[in-house]
Amino acid sequence: MKRIALLAAAGLALSGCGLRPLYGGGPDGAVRSTLSAVEVAPIQGQSGWLVANALKDRLDHNDAPARFRLEVKLDDQISGLGVRRDDSVSRERRMLRARYQLVDLSNGNVVLDATAGSDAGIDVVGSEYATIAAEKSALERLSGIVADQIVARVARYAQTAPAGGQ
């Protein structure tokens, strides 16, 4: 019984400091309704295909009419880090950076302009196939990470935007 009273007191204390759940309000809340009203514009390249699919999975469009369009431009680079005595690369770094804009479809205004990105280290081994597989696996992981960052930032926008999401 004391544990329940302590948890209730902690909940009241947190509500007094201005913290509130990002996805408060459930499916009808401002964040969830805004996320479901975002369409993802096509993104160039293999990395674009992966990021676009990850975004679509996370946004949960549900055939709702789009109020926003998410436009993303990616920069995907692989650079060598470690060098062996024979001048061959022993380690690579894959960097995926995204510049994205959230466009309000009702008036064409850009309501959010931001960047996201992440890096992954890749061991270069004797097998070229294994190295290529590691590079592709890193790209898949980075695509999910970048998509998570973008969705979190759009959700934060939706939480702080004036009523109506504009």
What is the per-residue DSSP string for 85-134? TTS-EEEEEEEEEEEEEEEETTT--EEEEEEEEEEEEEE--S-HHHHHHH
Q: Rounded to an integer, what distance in angstroms lies between the CA atom of residue 89 and that of residue 72?
A: 31
Of 65 and 38, the structure prediction assigns the larger pLDDT to 38
CA 80 to each of CA 28, 83, 90, 119: distance values in angstroms, whole numbers, following the listed order: 47, 8, 8, 13
Sign of the CA dihedral running 69, 50, 35, 19: negative
> Positive or negative, the Cα torsion across 158, 160, 165, 166?
negative
Angle ∠(23,97,146) on CA atoms, nearest 5:
30
Give the pLDDT of residue 63. 73
Q: Given a cut of 70, is residue 16 above it in pLDDT?
A: no
Domain residue limits, the chain: 25-160
The CATH number of the domain covering residues in 25-160? 3.30.160.150
Say what the pTM is: 0.80
pLDDT number for residue 22: 56
CA-based nearest residue to 23, from 166, 162, 154, 117: 154
pLDDT in tens, 66-105: 899 999 999 999 998 877 888 778 889 999 999 999 999 9
Q: What percent of the chain has pLDDT over 70?
A: 78
Count of alpha carbons within 13 Å of 60, Cβ hemisphere only?
A: 8
| Cα-only R_g, the chain | 21
At residue 165, the pLDDT reads 47
How many CB atoms are closer than 10 A to CB 94? 22
pLDDT band for 166, please (50, 70, 90 cuts): very low
